[in-house]
Amino acid sequence: MAIKGPFELPLSTIRAYMQEPITPRFVHVSSAGVTRPDRPGLDLSKQPPAVRLNKELDFILTYKLKVD
């Protein structure tokens, strides 16, 4: 369950380019695609990658819809 209220995300640095490839440490999931994965007749080839890969991403959009 999401808790409403003040939010703080302290950062020490932000860089546009890094010397070495680094794997992302977090993924932002917007609400834009959460209602799409189970929609009847949905043409997945025309959907954003997260919608097409919901199953492979361990149903992250399905989970996001439940917590929204």
The reply to whether 58 falls in a domain is yes
Task: List the domain range (segments joined by +) for residue 48.
Answer: 30-68
The reply to whether 39 falls in a domain is yes
The reply to whether 15 falls in a domain is no
pLDDT of residue 18: 63
The reply to whether 35 falls in a domain is yes
Q: What is the mean pLDDT of each run of 10 residues along the chain (68 residues)?
A: 76 73 69 73 84 82 77
Is residue 29 within 8 A of residue 61, CB to CB? The reply is yes
The reply to whether 19 falls in a domain is no
The reply to whether 2 falls in a domain is no
The reply to whether 60 falls in a domain is yes
pLDDT of residue 2: 67
pLDDT of residue 30: 66
> What is the reported pTM?
0.45
Number of domains in the chain: 1
Side chain identity, residue 17 = Y
